[in-house]
Structure 1
Amino acid sequence: MERTVSEVARLAGISVRTLRHYDAIGLLPPGHVAPNGYRYYGRAELLRLQRILLLRELDVPLQAIGRILAQQDDEITALRDHREQLVQERRRLDAVIGSVDRTLESLSGDDSVGDDEFFAGLSAGRSRLQLDLTERFGPEVGASFEAAVRATDGWTREDYERMGDEGRRLLLRLSAARTRGVPPDSPEALELMELHYQGVYDLWQADATGYYRLGDVLVENADQRAMIATVDPDLPPWLSAAVKAYAVRKLGYR
């Protein structure tokens, strides 16, 4: 049975525009196009769309999805590979959630988290963030982050908890602004973001480009997004936009 673009979009929970984009870039051509220009999709196209949407759930870029699908013709093998990727992602997120929970317990005054566990979680989180930064922006940014970490050598647990308390207070102020409907590029938001930028700069001397790119990290890096979301689940995208606005308006990013 063949289905129209609108039928496939409704079944898959995506827009007609998305399907047309997939067709335009060669990722999901229709089974055939009628003389009147209507596109029709059969079972093979629906199975391919299923694979595409599974990979998109894993944040795989469209260009990479095209390469993956070109190498896998067997639906069962492809789906098994996708399942394994999902399992690995679940394990990674479980580890992230555990790390965030332990940090929250510590910052809330829970003495059950020992110093060894506290610093182990801190080290693991830093390692994940450095790897993410290096993969996104290259070894130079990763090295810059490592230098920032070295600047905190000798800090005690109390130092980190004090820094965490200051960061949380700022996030609460930013959340209050967002809740009141303050646009992330407004003068009020940019004034608050001056505090955020100074907090970042104290540890990492980020230039306009580095700070702008940090906006993506805050929503795309699972650790960073989860940490911000503990204060306000809707804050990460707002803060990301505010970071980018500050980089453009105040730091001269182009």
Structure 2
Amino acid sequence: MADEINVEFSGEFSVDPDAPIFVISVAAQLAGMHPQTLRQYDRLGLVTPGRSAGRGRRYSPRDVASLREVQRLSQEEGVNLAGIKRILDLEYENRALRGQVDALMKELQVLQAKLRGAGRVFAAEPGGDIVAVAPGRRPQRPVTSTALVVWRPGR
């Protein structure tokens, strides 16, 4: 999506990009649009702001960035509103799927670390017993007088 709205304050205060903090007039000004346009986009489902207790619209920095993207797609790319809605829906879906992939990758890394930490490999002895051996090693096989051991270098 287009560049996010950066809201900066002095000190260590930061703003959640999804926090509904802007009233419609401020969001319209930040997006370079008329407030009536924002109302229309809300009715069409292009950008759906949060609501205050009194049901007034409250836009987040991410909503303002979406409004700017709607304007860019419409004016610079010539995309109609139905096309813009589809593009935004796909971008939201893509963001959600990326979040799921990130969560699964983290889970996979944790499981891989646990497996590496275990450091055990299991093997079957000739008698059928299962034994734990160090990775890259074979189980010790007893050599008896009746056993035939063939060894070839390089194999």
Q: Same fold (TM over 0.5)?
A: no
How would you bin the TM-score normalised by the shorter chain? 0.3 to 0.5
When you count strand as a share of all residues, which structure comes out higher?
2
TM-score with structure 2 setting the length: 0.44
From the CA coordinates, give the structure whose radius of gyration is larger. 2
Considering Cα pairs closer than 8 Å and 6+ residues apart, tell me whether 1 or 2 has the greater RCO: 2
TM-score with structure 1 setting the length: 0.28
